[in-house]
Chain A
Amino acid sequence: MDGIALMMDELLSDAKTNNIIAVKVKISCIQLQGDYVIYDHLSGDTHLLDEMSGGLLCSLNTQTMSRDDLLKKLVKSFADLSWLEINNYLDVFIDRFVALDLLNITKQSA
């Protein structure tokens, strides 16, 4: 049973890796000292983000990326964090900004 569960995890992980992540609405990003302030043109909401989330969202504002590309980018930028920490962070980041209607995920078939 454990082996099957592991295989399922890997399959799901692969599926997530191929997802294409894009900014859903027009946003403006400004970096102020270490923080990012983001303006959502559609809702008019202003968001204050830390360096990691803000940097990631601003990158996605200029180009769409796969989840795998995002992960690689983060691993390169934050060498002091483990792969697992960054992977978990990325899940939280994506869920948060999908809930805020700022990000769009397009599922890619493997």
Chain B
Amino acid sequence: MNINKYFLFGMVLLCVSIISLSGCAGVQKMPIKLDPNFNAKGIDTIVLMQIVDRRIDKKANIDLEKEIRIPTKKILEKKGYTVVMPDTFGEGMNVSANDVGEMGVEDLATLGPKDSKVLLFIYLEDVSESYIVLAYTFKIEATGSLIHKQEKIELWRDKGIGACGQGGLISGVFSGVDRAAAIEGCRDSMLVTLPKVAKAEQRPGKSDLGNISSQSRQTMPADVVKPAI
């Protein structure tokens, strides 16, 4: 009788473990858009444009260079790209970040250095930061878009949302830590689907999605071009 009880307990424990582990496996994140011929384009250099702040509410402070652009450069370099960071949106062009935020693909392709091939635009869509009673909450939303300058097409597009919050007396002390983690989560979640630099033998064929986050909850939209992984 006792053995049966232990056996039953063991079985329940096993089932719970299997269910938990299957949950950890996560869902592979798919980009909103990825050109099926991405690898064939032989992209090894990306021009990382200035971050475009197109928030409606710009109350929350955020350092676009330090907190978004420079870490993005590091992620791109880890993926094998050479990254160029120009100081302006266009050589000799009088274009503001507000203008860029409203441009379509054709107009975006006119920006950036003349000799460049692909331009990466990161749009800051929303940042909210609030202290409610003893709770701190922070949310950041950003979109990335990779534009082929000559072909005037969008090669890749994805977005990320990072959020955090802490309730209780310690929230004020740890809010800085949470905020940094949320920004990092947003950046990583957005850029995880950008393929790594294609190896020479890969170029006409398969696409590599790089490190896929196990935390991703996104599913593939019906009208999205599914990359070969």
* Bound pair (A, B): no
> Taking beta carbons and an 8 Å cutoff, which residues of A are in contact with B?
none
Interface residues of B (CB under 8 A from A): none
